[in-house]
Structure 1
Amino acid sequence: MTSVDLQDVSTQLNNKITSIKRSMQLKNMCNDPSLTSVLQKIGLELSSIRDVLDIFQMQIQQQKTELRSLQEMKNAVQRNAEIAHHLLENIPAHLPKKAVEASTVDAKDVKVQKVTASSEPEKNSVKNKHFIREMEYLLMDEFNQVPGYMKGRMTYDQINAVVKEINATVKAKYKILNQPMKSMSNTTRNQYHAFKEQETKETKGQYFFVEADIKDFTRLKVDKKFHVILNILRHCHRLREVRGNNLVRYVLL
């Protein structure tokens, strides 16, 4: 056995001997009447300290539980922040916009007619006449539900870019149709009559466009890609076709 081991053994034995001596001293103190009251006070203090330690332990356990809850809340906030940042970085170029229904506008006009002078209904009827419906932009969920064979490599933004151009076409077309004949130039008057000739019983009261309108009012190419997008929009219930007289009319839904 090395000297280091003997020294450790000696230290341990000395510690035990010291502990035994202290125990004997305390035992002897119990037999001394003059020290009994001191020992009782010490016992009470130890009991009080034990109660305080129990309270501390309960508070520590409670704080651990609160700490876990706060950590879970922190993780949830971080996840929400990441989601919000992702949404901020990936805002669609064209957000869907709910078109105002003509029936809603008519209902408002009826209320206005009941409470305003005779000149007011005329103004409102003019506004109704000039109301032009727009096609709603495609939602991402709708785009994801389009069959893969139908959309091919077409992207969400490409489709909504065409929707934007279609709305511009319809707006330009019906702006001419709502324009007073007296204010029209010869070119505009010819367009007006051409638009009127395109109308049928099925398109009465509806907003529609034809391929020639796309060529006249936008820079879009009426090619295979364009027809694929029209097919997707028809699948998503944004438009329907009305055929007749060798002409395809795309009616907004």
Structure 2
Amino acid sequence: MASLEDVSLQLNDKIASIKRLFHLKSIGNDPSLTTILQKIGLELANIQNNLDTFQARIQLQQTEMKSLKDLKNSVQKNSEVAHHLLENIPAHLPRKTAQSSTADPKDEKVAGNPVQPEPAKKSVKSKYFVREIEYLLMEEFNHVPGYMKGRMTYDQINAVIDELNTAVKAKYKILNQPLKSMSNITRNQYNTFKEQETKETKGQCFFVEADIKDFTRLKVDKKLNGIFNILRHCHRIREVRGNHLVRYVLL
């Protein structure tokens, strides 16, 4: 409950306010002071306009400052990513599989002289198109389950891919040789490769464990089988089994 002294102070403040109002009202009715009051009103209006302008500019600068901070954070993040990429360039970069060309350089058109179709010749056996296993991307490697990777690293897997591609190239180089030019050893290899083919591997490139032993330095062991699991998981190879033989078909 307010004391008598507090009530007295409140009443005195209200009385003083009322006196000021009557005093201002009397000034407003004084013709000699009307012009001064009008000037004061105009000055107050100008001050209010200036304050509104300053407030709008401050809000605009605050918006621009926020945009600059967002841009700074974005540039800093991109710089960190670029620095990380620079320090972690993989030893094996993905590459596009070379496409075989069936065009004959002799078939090029000469300006103003289109080449006329030549008479039909005896069909020539086209070269065998040899696929390659594409390197794993770092993103793919990171999505391989941990139990499947074990302690294997990204570079180790791609190094094995290099060896497997070497085996595939060596195998299909033999398959592409003319039979007349083959030695007895090469002819035996050729016949073995042909016997390994099935309907499922027709037109596909594949290798078997014997090819790894013959054409690479890899050991066919548990670790290599683990890498085969990763390559299957990443859709680089698939298995075709039959006649007690596992064929690894390139995708």
| TM-score (normalised: structure 2) | 0.65
Query: Which residue is equivalent to 2:83?
Result: 85
Match of 2:130, as an amino acid?
A: I
Tell me which protein shows more helix as a share of its residues: 1
Query: Which residue is equivalent to 1:20?
Result: none
Query: Which residue is equivalent to 2:56?
Result: 58
The answer for unaligned runs of 5 or more in structure 2 is 1-26, 108-113
Identical counterparts, % of pairs: 69
Match of 1:178, as an amino acid?
A: N
Query: Which residue is equivalent to 1:227?
Result: 225
Cα deviation, residue 209, structure 1:
0.9
1:68-107 to 2 correspondences below 5 Å: 68-97=66-95, 99=97
Cα deviation, residue 174, structure 1:
0.9
SS in 2 for 1:77: helix
Q: How far does the alpha carbon of each residue in 1:81-110 deviate from its partner, in whole angstroms, 9 at most, with x for none?
A: 2223323433433334454789xx89x99x
1:226-245 to 2 correspondences below 5 Å: 226-245=224-243
Query: Which residue is equivalent to 1:194?
Result: 192
Paired positions, count: 216
Does residue 1:213 correspond to 2:184, yes or no?
no
Structure 1 residues 203 and 83 mapped into 2: Cα distance closer, same or farther (>3 Å)?
A: same
Distance between the aligned counterparts of 2:82 and 2:163, measured in 1?
30
Structure 1 residues 44 and 241 mapped into 2: Cα distance closer, same or farther (>3 Å)?
A: closer
The Cα RMSD (Å) is: 4.0
- Structure 1 residues 89-98 or 69-78, which shifts more? 89-98
Q: How far does the alpha carbon of each residue in 1:27-74 deviate from its partner, in whole angstroms, 9 at most, with x for none?
A: x9xx895x9867865764564344234312321221122111221222
1:175 to 167, 173, 176: 173
The answer for unaligned runs of 5 or more in structure 1 is 1-27
Match of 1:228, as an amino acid?
A: G
Query: Which residue is equivalent to 2:5?
Result: none
SS in 2 for 1:129: coil
